[in-house]
Structures are given as C-alpha cells and as structure tokens.
Chains A and B, each alone.
Chain A
Amino acid sequence: NTIRCSALTPELKSTLDKVVTSNKIVLFMKGTKDFPQCGFSNTVVQILKSLNASFETINILENDLLRQGLKDYSNWPTFPQLYIDGEFFGGCDITVEAYKNGELQELVEKAMCS
C-alpha cells in the first residue's frame, strides 16, 4: 500500500468551499469561458451559454495545485468539473446527457432563482 499525497490542503479545501457556495454555477475548466482550451471544456461552456446561465469559470491550467487538489475535492479525475448550487454536478459527459434530457435546464433555472 502506497501512501498517496493529497494536494488538497485544509486551506485549499476551505477556499474551494467558499468558491462553490458563493457562486450559483461554477465551472472549473481548461481555459476561460471566452477562450476554452479543450473541446470538453468548450462543450460545457456552450451548453451553459445556450441555457442563458450566468456562470463563473476558473482556469485550472493556471494553477497546478488547484488542478490536483480539485480532483480530490470533487473525487473526479478529469476536467471540466461543473458545480451547481454548491454541489458537484459532473463532467462533460454527464452535463451533455443532462442537457439532452432537460434535467440540466431545470437545475440551472432552480439555481438562478434561488
């Protein structure tokens, strides 16, 4: 058994707690919403835009500690990572699926109104 070092320090955890709860919709992605640097991240940005959602994006390419720590925080190995109402919603595939079946729109509307 190897001991796994976590990049998720208590400080980073409390910062992330704040980030995801003080914004209704947050997308941790590669690049920014105006300049996505990966197709998967771009897909989620376009979906959120088409739903007229207001959302924050955070570029994980600019901060490697954040990038590693988030994987532990979300228990999710890849990016993008979408948070709605303080809760981890999923990555690109889940977002696409939920967009298709209308579940995402419902959640986004609920978040915007709350």
Chain B
Amino acid sequence: MGVTKEQVESSLNSKLNPSHIEVLDTSGGCGASFVVEIVSEQFEGKRLLERHRMVNAALEEEMKEIHALSVKKAVTPEQWKKLQESNQSNPAA
C-alpha cells in the first residue's frame, strides 16, 4: 500500500503544527510523490537545511514508501505573510 496525501498531511499537522499546509500528490505512475508547502512557527530561527530535516523527520514512516518528496516551501508565518503580500502587489510575476 502506498502513502496517501491525507497521511502526509496528518503527520505534518500533528508534528509541526502548521498554520498553513498544502500537500500536492504529484505521482505520475511511478509511486508516491508529493510536493509540500508548509508554514510553521517551529521553523523560526532555523536554517533551510534544518527546516527540511524537520519535515523529513515528521514523515519518517512515510518516507520509507515515498518515492519523491519536494519541500517547495518551509517558511515561518511572518515570511509567509510577506510572500503573500509580494504576490498580491506583483500579480504579473
């Protein structure tokens, strides 16, 4: 049995307590593959590598079966707010 998008979401929710989360199933027939976007206060003061390690650790069980995982964004709520604002002020980008 493969890993579902719901499983990935629930593990991330319970371990990283995100204020925003988006999990995309991108498996194109070669097995479980996901793109993750996650906003959490727990990323505060952590470098990108550490943040990605936290995501990997939260999905330790799932990683055994996940074929590909892409952490598109691992940001703090503050960074997320800035990203949203810059997207709005620059809709063409």
Chain A interface residues toward B at CB < 8 A: 40, 75-78, 88-94, 97-98
Contacts and interface: CB of A to CB of B under 8 A. Distances in A.
B53 interface: yes
Given A76-B56, A77-B56, A77-B63, A89 B68 contact: no
Contact of A94 (B48, B68, B69): B48
A78 B69 contact: yes
Closest 9 CB pairs of A and B: A77-B63, A93-B71, A90-B49, A94-B48, A93-B70, A77-B56, A94-B52, A94-B49, A97-B48
A98 B48 contact: yes
Interface in B36-73: 48-49, 52-53, 56, 63, 68-72
Which size bracket describes the interface of B in this complex? 10 to 19
Interface of B: 48-49, 52-53, 56, 63, 68-72
The residue in A76, A77, A91, A97 that gathers the most chain B C-beta atoms within 10 A of its C-beta is A77
A40 B71 CA distance: 12
A94 B54 CA distance: 13
A63 B63 CA distance: 20
Nearest to A78: B69
24 contacts: A40-B68, A75-B53, A76-B56, A77-B56, A77-B63, A77-B69, A78-B63, A78-B68, A78-B69, A88-B49, A89-B49, A90-B48, A90-B49, A90-B52, A91-B52, A92-B70, A93-B52, A93-B70, A93-B71, A93-B72, A94-B48, A94-B49, A94-B52, A97-B48
